[in-house]
């Protein structure tokens, strides 16, 4: 069997970093990309510890020049690509009324338009590969099927990714390329730390209609993303590897026990019940009506 070649976005930290190591260990030739190659040390240290090597390439989802340069590099070096893992992404936290047009565009530019840019650039190389298991992986989220308070803008991008993956499953099936969505829940990465953005406007003043929700939800968000519900990113990396290795992969690859529980409720419980559970968990179920 020819060696699978896999390109991954967002490998400077978190899920992308550990997935690069996981797939290199599984025998893939890995192109680990990041927008700032100055952040390569953590990945190189993890590779050294695992006794594997990866190829580093600069790639920023918002910069077409870097995407085209990376695709040209893989084309001239390999002539093909077996798997593409669209992992890079980030979240804003805030009430929808506070976001500027630029901030809304910023969220969609990376998480949705960036995934479209990268995938469209690499699909010709995936068509040139002849593996029966060529796989387009898109890292969405449980937030791509259920909304959590103050994460609605981010959720909108992850819901959009599910639509794109469903469309790719139509378009790419006859070309022999499988498309899957990997859906983690809280995972211990920089997602809720250095990578998290807030809108410049944050209406938590005493007269703000959003003062209570903005006072309560960020604390819950920190607990959820750093507490016992948050899983090790290697669990997500293993889910990605399993999806790529599957004979006939389905659309949804829910990753982690809490993710499975959340998606079970989302699927089988009435919407009113699941939103009530989330409001309770987030601490906003008891808020009184304001003007
Ligand atoms: N952690 C969670 O709880 C969780 C849950 C569900 C889904 N996810 C999804 O998992 C994926 C990976 O996130 P993570 O948890 O591993 O967080 P992370 O540690 O913050 O990693 C995010 C990666 O994306 C990169 N990135 C951000 N914007 C980029 C851009 N414009 N171009 C290229 N790279 C960019 C970051 O690069 P820099 O280092 O340069 O910022 C970093 O390498 C994301 O799509 C996220 O939405 C995460």
Concatenated DSSP letters of 148-208: -TT-HHHHHHHHHHHHHHHHHHHHHHTTT-EEEEEEE-SBSSSTTTTT-B--S----STT-
* Centroid of ligand 1 to alpha carbon of 207 (angstroms): 35
* Centroid of ligand 1 to alpha carbon of 47 (angstroms): 19
Given a contact cutoff of 8 angstroms between Cβ atoms, the answer to whether 119 and 172 are in contact is: no
Nearest residue (by CA) to ligand 1, atom 24, is 88
Region label for 197, one of left (φ > 0), alpha (ψ between -120 and 50) or beta (otherwise): beta
Residue of 31, 154, 185, 210 marked active site: 154
203 catalytic residue (yes or no): no
Q: What is the pLDDT of residues 61-70, one digit of tens each?
A: 999 999 999 9
Ligand 1 proximal residues by C-beta, below 6 Å? 9-10, 12-16, 34-36, 39, 60-62, 87-90, 110, 114, 139, 141, 184, 186-187, 189-191, 195, 225
Extract long-range pairs of 216-221: CB within 8 Å, 24+ residues apart.
Answer: 216/282, 216/283, 216/284, 216/287, 217/149, 217/150, 217/282, 217/283, 217/284, 218/93, 218/150, 219/283, 220/281, 220/282, 220/283, 221/93, 221/148, 221/150, 221/151, 221/192
pLDDT score for 258? 87
pLDDT score for 226? 86
Residue ranges, the chain, pLDDT below 70? 290-291
Domains of the chain with bracketed CATH: 5-282 (3.40.50.720)
Residue of 13, 91, 131, 140 marked active site: 140
pLDDT score for 291? 59
pLDDT score for 287? 84
Q: What is the pLDDT of residues 265-288, one digit of tens each?
A: 989 999 999 999 999 989 999 887
pLDDT score for 111? 98
How big is the chain by its Cα radius of gyration, in Å? Answer: 19
pLDDT score for 190? 96
């Amino acid at each position: 069997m020819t060696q699978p070649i896999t390109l991954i976005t967002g490998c400077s930290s978190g899920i992308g970093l550990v997935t690069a190591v996981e797939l290199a260990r599984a025998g893939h030739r890995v192109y680990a990309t990041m927008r700032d190659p100055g952040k390569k040390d953590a990945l190189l240290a993890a590779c050294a510890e695992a006794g594997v090597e990866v190829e580093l390439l600069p790639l920023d989802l918002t910069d077409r020049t870097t995407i085209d340069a990376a695709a040209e590099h893989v084309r001239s070096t390999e002539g093909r690509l077996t798997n593409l893992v669209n992992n890079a992404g980030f979240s804003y936290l805030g009430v929808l009324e506070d976001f500027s047009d630029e901030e809304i565009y910023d969220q969609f530019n990376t998480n949705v338009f960036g995934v479209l840019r990268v995938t469209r650039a690499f699909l010709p190389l995936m068509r040139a590969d002849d593996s029966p298991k060529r796989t387009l992986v898109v890292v969405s989220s449980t937030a791509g099927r259920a909304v959590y308070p103050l994460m609605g803008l981010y959720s909108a991008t992850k819901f959009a990714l599910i639509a794109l993956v469903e469309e790719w499953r139509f378009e790419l099936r006859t070309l022999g390329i499988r498309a899957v969505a990997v859906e983690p829940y809280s995972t211990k990465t920089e997602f809720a730390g250095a990578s998290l953005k807030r809108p410049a406007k944050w209406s938590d003043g005493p007269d703000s209609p959003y003062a209570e929700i903005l006072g309560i939800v960020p604390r819950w968000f920190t607990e959820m993303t750093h507490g016992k519900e948050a899983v090790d990113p290697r669990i997500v990396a293993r889910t990605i590897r399993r999806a790529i290795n599957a004979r006939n992969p389905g659309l949804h690859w829910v990753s982690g026990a809490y993710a499975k529980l959340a998606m079970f409720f989302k699927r089988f419980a009435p919407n009113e019940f699941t939103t009530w559970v989330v409001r309770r968990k987030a601490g906003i179920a008891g808020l009184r009506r304001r003007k």
